Amino acid sequence: MLPPALYWQDNRLFILDQRMLPGAVMFLQCRTYEDVAVAIESLAVRGAPAIGIAAAFGIALGASPGRDEARLAAARLALTRPTAVNLFWALARMEKKIASLPDGNIFEGLLAEAEAILEEDAACNRAMGRAGAALLPPDCTVITHCNAGALATGGHGTALGVIRSARDEGKRVKVFSCETRPVLQGARLTVWELMEDGIDVTLICDNMAGALMKKGGIDAVIVGADRIAANGDTANKIGTYSLAVMAARHNIPFYVAAPLSTIDPGLPSGDCIPIEERRAEELKRLPGGGMLPDDYKIWNPAFDVTEAELITAIITERGVLRPPFDEINNLFPREVE
């Protein structure tokens, strides 16, 4: 059985430590917002929606005794990871709640809001799953990248949610999961998650995807997203852009599955999306356990941007958006001053 990415119990946030997967299922117990911040920074919890949800609970943990403390927690959590906009979306929603709660103990109100964010995310993923499953043929083979599954969300998953829903509707779905260097979210998390759920999955190295597409038989590429700009440009795990280019070359539909909380309508294009660069050690670690020499120069961006023109459709809980993605503006009407 697949464990949840996180849950609240006994005034603590339990976070599934995804660094230990697939070897061990262990939960971190977060008692403070700093515990949550460190869990996000260290990738114990990862995936855009899950980061936002964890941060929302982190603010509740910080809300003792009041508003100022909750805002301090929010400021700390905002520094954890820059690319996934779901983090900032959740922090903004919690800030609204902080401001609206009556004076006194605001903890219960903030906890209820964090729980609502968690439940709404799982519901969005199911809606997205239904919308996305309709795009897949009854017998299909897809490629996915990184982990955009239940482990990365409040449940069901975004890209893997589409696959799950298609399977639940009786479609026969085979999945190729890219290993997703350097942190191996595909190899360690997606393959494990799909196998736990009885879905047919095969692991490939990232550099095998082109050859696989050329061989034929791939019906779609489906990925999640960390931030989508107003024009549809999409930031997702490093390597996504290469997959999109190769999918275009082979006439394979390239789908992004993401909730509206991943869309940043204030950003005109992907050029404005901040891309996290992570520690060189992530690349230096060798499969056998050794390390590359210290003096190796390393570039380690965690995400890349896929231009909207390479995306066949963006699957959201409000339906399937198609190029040129003008619908994004309608979904986020500008607030009248």
Mind telling me the catalytic residues?
226
Is 214 within 8 Å of 181 (Cβ atoms)?
A: no
Structure tokens at 14: 């339990």
Contact between 236 and ligand MRU per CB under 6 A: yes
Smallest separation, CB 158 to ligand MRU (Å): 4
Which pairing describes strands 27-30 and 12-16: parallel, antiparallel, or unpaired? Answer: antiparallel
Instruction: Give residue number: closest CB to ligand MRU.
Output: 224
Residue whose structure tokens are 């800030």: 95
Binding mask 67-86 for ligand MRU (x = CB under 6 A): -----------------x--
Binding mask 171-190 for ligand MRU (x = CB under 6 A): --------------x-----
Smallest separation, CB 328 to ligand MRU (Å): 18
Find, among 51, 53, 32, 29, the residue nearest to 42 by Cα. Answer: 51
Q: Quick one: which of 15, 77, 136, 158 contacts ligand MRU (CB under 6 A)?
A: 158
Q: Tell me if residue 337 falls in helix, strand or coil.
A: coil
Contact between 132 and ligand MRU per CB under 6 A: no
Q: Quick one: which of 52, 62, 154, 224 contacts ligand MRU (CB under 6 A)?
A: 224
Which of residues 64 and 300 has its CB atom nearest to ligand MRU in the complex?
Answer: 300
Contact between 49 and ligand MRU per CB under 6 A: yes
Structure tokens at 142: 């897809």
Cα(185)–Cα(236) distance, integer angstroms: 13
Q: 308-337: which residues touch ligand MRU (CB under 6 A)?
A: none
Structure tokens at 130: 């239904």
Q: Give 94-120 as a DSSP string.
A: HHHHHHHSPSS--HHHHHHHHHHHHHH
Smallest separation, CB 237 to ligand MRU (Å): 3
